Amino acid sequence: MDKVERIGVSLDKKLLAKFDDLIAKQGYQSRSEAIRDLVRQRLSSESLNNPKASAVAAVCLVYDHHATMVSQKLIDIQHSHILQAISSLHVHLDHHDCLEVIVLRGAVGQINKVAEGLLSLKGVKLGKINLVATDPNPAS
């Protein structure tokens, strides 16, 4: 449990009213919570500009399950010891396609390199890399 500090923020009343509407719609229970999330997102996106920053990524791949190279490549990566931790989730979309979510952990630059290799595999139809910085460890 980290120490908490309370700061004051001045906001125009109309701006605040709109923000209150938005966060109510999103389901936030307090302004502090919503503003903390904005601050953490800002720090995370800043950190992801640094190729050496620590991050965790969910790489989403849509591929034809007849294309066996993806699973093979995944095994290759697990054995290559480049990245610290790998988990994956497999979802059946239809009788052709499946979605594979692969969690990679490591430096931003390394993750991007490995993820691009996965996205460029023959048989992978669509893909996205979703990075979240863990370096500026958004501690609470």
Judged by CB under 8 A, the chain residues 52 through 111 that form the site for a second copy are 56, 58, 60, 62, 64, 85, 87-89, 91, 93, 96-97, 99, 101, 103, 105
User: How far is Cα 46 from Cα 26, in angstroms, rounded to an integer?
Assistant: 24
- The smaller minimum CB distance to a second copy, of residues 81 and 124, is found at 124
Distance CA 115, CA 127 (A): 9
11 binds a second copy (CB under 8 A): yes
> Least distance to a second copy from the beta carbon of 43, Å?
6
We find the least distance from the C-beta atom of residue 49 to a second copy, in angstroms, to be 8
Q: Are 115 and 88 in contact (CB under 8 A)?
A: no
Residues 106, 55: contact at Cβ < 8 Å?
yes
Number of residues in the chain: 140
Applying CB under 8 A, the site for a second copy has a residue count of: 77
Q: Does residue 38 interact with a second copy by CB under 8 A? A: yes
